[in-house]
Amino acid sequence: MKTLLKLENVQVGHAASRTTVLRSVSLHVKRGERVALLGRSGAGKTTLFRAINGFLPIAKGRIQFDGRDVAGCRGRGLRLLRRDIGFIAQKHDLVDNLRVHQNVMAGALGYWSAWRTLRYLARPNAQELEQSRQVLAAVGIPEKLHESTSALSGGQQQRVAIARALIQNPKLLLADEPVASLDPGTAREILELMCGLAEERGMALICTLHQPDLAARYFQRVVEIRDGAAIESALPISDAARPFSAPMQPAIAGVGAPGQ
Ligand SMILES: Nc1ncnc2c1ncn2[C@@H]1O[C@H](COP(=O)(O)OP(=O)(O)OP(=O)(O)O)[C@@H](O)[C@H]1O
Ligand SMILES: [Mg+2]
Which ligand 1 atom sits closest to the C-alpha of 48? Answer: 18
CA-CA-CA-CA torsion sign (77, 104, 136, 186)? positive
Q: Ligand 1 pocket test: which of 45, 48, 91, 231 has the largest number of ligand atoms within 8 Å of its C-beta?
A: 45
Q: Of the ligands numbered here, which is closest to the C-alpha atom of 228?
A: 1
Which ligand 1 atom sits closest to the C-alpha of 210? Answer: 25
Look up residue 209 and give its DSSP letter.
Answer: -
Q: Of the ligands numbered here, which is closest to the C-alpha atom of 42?
A: 1
As a dihedral over the C-alpha atoms of residue 159, residue 188, residue 253, residue 32, rounded to 10 degrees, the angle is 110
Q: How far is CA 14 from CA 50, 51, 127, 194, in A?
A: 11, 11, 43, 30
Kindly give the distance from the C-alpha atom of residue 177 to the centroid of ligand 2, in angstroms, as a whole number. Answer: 7
**Those residues with Cβ within 8 angstroms of residue 2's Cβ, 6 or more apart along the chain or in another chain:** 30, 31
Rg (CA), the chain: 18
Beta pairing class for 172-176 and 204-208: parallel
d(CA 257, CA 170): 9
Q: Is the CB of 16 under 6 A from ligand 1?
A: yes
What pTM does this model have?
A: 0.89
Helix (H, G, I), strand (E, B) or coil at 34: strand
Look up residue 6 and give its DSSP letter.
Answer: E
Q: Is the CB of 45 under 6 A from ligand 1?
A: yes
d(CA 154, CA 167): 20
The continuous run of DSSP H or E covering 95 comes out as none
Q: How far is CA 80 from CA 30, 51, 167, in A?
A: 20, 16, 15
Kindly give the distance from the C-alpha atom of residue 41 to the centroid of ligand 2, in angstroms, as a whole number. Answer: 7
Phi, psi of 85 (to 5 degrees): -120, 105
Averaged in consecutive runs of 10 residues, what is the pLDDT profile of the chain (260 residues)? 94 89 96 96 96 95 97 92 93 89 89 84 90 93 96 93 92 95 90 93 96 93 95 70 48 39
DSSP string computed for 53-68: TTSS--SEEEEEETTE
At residue 233, the pLDDT reads: 82
Residue closest via CA to ligand 1's atom 18 equals 44
**Those residues with Cβ within 8 angstroms of residue 91's Cβ, 6 or more apart along the chain or in another chain:** none
Q: Is the CB of 217 under 6 A from ligand 1?
A: no
Question: Exposure string (b/e) for 190-203, b if CB count within 10 Å is 16 or more?
Answer: bbbbbbbbbbebeb
Q: How far is CA 192 from CA 20, 64, 101, 249, in A?
A: 34, 28, 23, 10
At residue 206, the pLDDT reads: 98
Q: Is the CB of 17 under 6 A from ligand 1?
A: yes
